[in-house]
Amino acid sequence: MTGVLDRFLRYVQYDTKSDERSPSCPSTASQLVLLRDLAAELRALGVEDAAMDEYGYVMATIPATTVKRAVPTIGLIAHVDTSPEMPGAGVKPIVHRAYDGRDLVLPDDPAVVLRLAEIPALADQIGHDIITASGTTLLGADDKAGVAEIVTAAAHLAAHPEIPHGAIRIAFPPDEEIGRGTEHFDVERFGARCAYTLDGGSRGEIETESFSADAITATFHGFNTHPGYAKGTMVNAIKAAAAFVTLLPADSLSPETTDGHDGFLHPYVVQAGVERTSVRLLVRDFATARLREKEALVERLAREAVARFPGARVEFAVEESYRNMKEMLDRHPEVADHAREAIRRAGLEPRTHPIRGGTDGSRLSFMGLPTPNLFAGEHNFHSRLEWGSAQDMEKAVEVIVNLGKIREEGN
Ligand SMILES: [Zn+2]
């Protein structure tokens, strides 16, 4: 499993920040530099068909070594972009060898310190090698850890043809961080029965549940007129919308008051005018049916608010964002079962917790490719405090190799 740390340190030095304002795919040309190099690296390892398509997606096949004919193809996926919210150029990775619980002070901004007391996950890392950035940028372990693990597993399998496995497909998409990592993902061309994103946290984790997500826009209509002569005619949509926001539950059903399996309503954008004011809300729940209940609550409260402003009215538009991948994964229980077995064979205890967000896997699962998320050893995403663990990355490589073996044994 050697090489994963070296690859990781190399990849994080590529600036691959995505940009939601850009209409192109990939959203930034800088992502293409890493994508092109990854395709070349895979080919040099003997993964001969590795190629980048017109949208920047790199796909490749580790050919089957098994003599069995019916072994289904599995897929491995990791995104190359990093969060647009944080500087991602000029990353200077630092390896803190044999972590012993000490404060890790990042030299380019000594105010940025990783403290065991503040980061509980560090307690599992005593004796491990921790990688951080230098204090002024993110690290990019999200998701270059996953990329390094997949390339290292490919190198290991290419060097060990005696390990029996079916065909394994690899995909490195751009633009996951801006929600567009599956926009041009050709599931049919990928041709796998199931896939695994390597884009998670601590060793042993497998994620099979994500939010189901909608966005709802409540548009309040009023009537505008010259404010000096408005008596009896003006209807102010801003006031109706404000009354609605005030009626939303504050102590519950909010991002700032929920965790675990609880969903929420989250007003996050208001466009205001007297004639017309729209409020956009995120609706989140693990049960898709409960999204409908939350949307019904939004409608009820908005109508209640509007009733206080004679002449005002409100209309609603609901857009589906993504769905809980569990609904799809439950139809293919072997996909997560194999991952848990692969984790156990790497000497780890599989652990599951719900993702309070969506992943590329949430969308891919509904595009016909059941795709849970596996640990990659990434922590403190999208932050200057981002860190990774070299030993967890090595374990992730082991898990990938085990997945190939387990799929083969079962057929
Ligand atoms: Zn990620």
DSSP code string of 159-202: H-TTS----EEEEE-S-TTTT-TTTT--HHHH--SEEEEEEE-S
57-64 average pLDDT score: 98
What confidence tens digit (pLDDT) does each residue in 300-332 have?
999 999 999 999 999 999 999 899 999 999 999
CA distance 226 to 234: 8
**Cα atoms in the 13 Å half-sphere on the side-chain side of 298:** 31
Whole-number Å distance, alpha carbon 79 to ligand 1 midpoint, is 7
Token pair in block for residue 258: 């929920």
Dihedral sign from CA coordinates of 359, 362, 363, 364: positive
Catalytic residue from among 81, 199, 207, 392: 81
Catalytic residue from among 15, 129, 149, 176: 176
**Does residue 258 register a pLDDT over 90?**
yes
Q: What is the mean pLDDT of the chain?
A: 96
Residues with CB under 5 A from ligand 1 (ion): 142-143, 199
Whole-number Å distance, alpha carbon 180 to ligand 1 midpoint, is 12
Whole-number Å distance, alpha carbon 383 to ligand 1 midpoint, is 13
| % residues pLDDT > 90 (the chain) | 96
Tell me, yes or no, if 176 is annotated catalytic.
yes
Whole-number Å distance, alpha carbon 77 to ligand 1 midpoint, is 11
Whole-number Å distance, alpha carbon 208 to ligand 1 midpoint, is 15
Token pair in block for residue 157: 């399998």
Which of 241, 229, 232 shows the shortest CA–CA distance to 275? 241
Whole-number Å distance, alpha carbon 49 to ligand 1 midpoint, is 25
**Does residue 81 register a pLDDT over 60?**
yes
Q: DSSP readout, 375-390?
A: E-SEESTTSTT-EEEH
Q: CA geometry: angle at 142 spanning 136 and 144, to 5°?
A: 100
Alpha helices in 270-357 (DSSP H): 288-307, 326-329, 333-345
**Does residue 68 register a pLDDT over 70?**
yes
**Does the model's pTM come out above 0.75?**
yes
Token pair in block for residue 191: 């041709």
The burial class, CB within 10 Å (0-12 / 13-18 / 19+), for 170 is buried
**Does residue 35 register a pLDDT over 70?**
yes
CA distance 316 to 144: 40
Whole-number Å distance, alpha carbon 279 to ligand 1 midpoint, is 29
Tell me, yes or no, if 186 is annotated catalytic.
no
